[in-house]
Structure 1
Amino acid sequence: MRVMDLDDILGSRPDDPLSALLREDLDRLSVAELEARIAALEGEIARSRRKIDHAVNHRASADALFKR
């Protein structure tokens, strides 16, 4: 399995939302805003992990069906 580097994650578009998120100045945020941001990001991480799990399980089911 290949490890992704930052260029893989950020993509080539300068207006990419993930790029903007990673460049955002955190100094202007309060503790409550930072905690809310963390909670939102943790929710997005959980959603992404569920999508990965679904994709892996779907692939395994397809492989089993076609006996790859």
Structure 2
Amino acid sequence: MTFFDDDRPAKKLAHEIGSDLSMLSVGDLDARIDLLREEIARLETDKQKKQAGRMAADNFFKK
């Protein structure tokens, strides 16, 4: 028996790759699609920053 579990905020929606989708509603699927699109955008932004940093370093050391 735990006394503190009721005071904790609810977990944010998460998606596990390959998880069973059969019990999800259309609304749940839409929410997961939105979540994954936001994560893809975040990953692409970070990738672009890293590529720019890599290009800057390559250009600096080519001199």
SS at match of 1:26: coil
Separation in 1, partners of 2:23, 2:32? 13
The code of the aligned residue for 1:48 comes to L
2:18 is the counterpart of 1:37:
no
Aligned match for 1:55, one of 44, 50, 54:
50
Separation in 1, partners of 2:34, 2:55? 31
Aligned match for 2:21, one of 13, 17, 26:
26
Aligned match for 1:65, one of 37, 60, 63:
60
CA displacement at 1:21 relative to structure 2: 1.5
- Off by >2 Å, runs of 4+ in structure 1: none
Gaps of 5+ in 2: 1-14
SS at match of 2:53: helix
The structure number with the bigger radius of gyration is: 2
RMSD: 1.6
Query: TM-score if structure 1 supplies the norm length?
Result: 0.65
Identity %: 39
Tell me: higher relative CO, structure 1 or 2? Use CA pairs within 8 A at least 6 residues apart. Answer: 2
Separation in 2, partners of 1:67, 1:22? 41
Gaps of 5+ in 1: 1-19
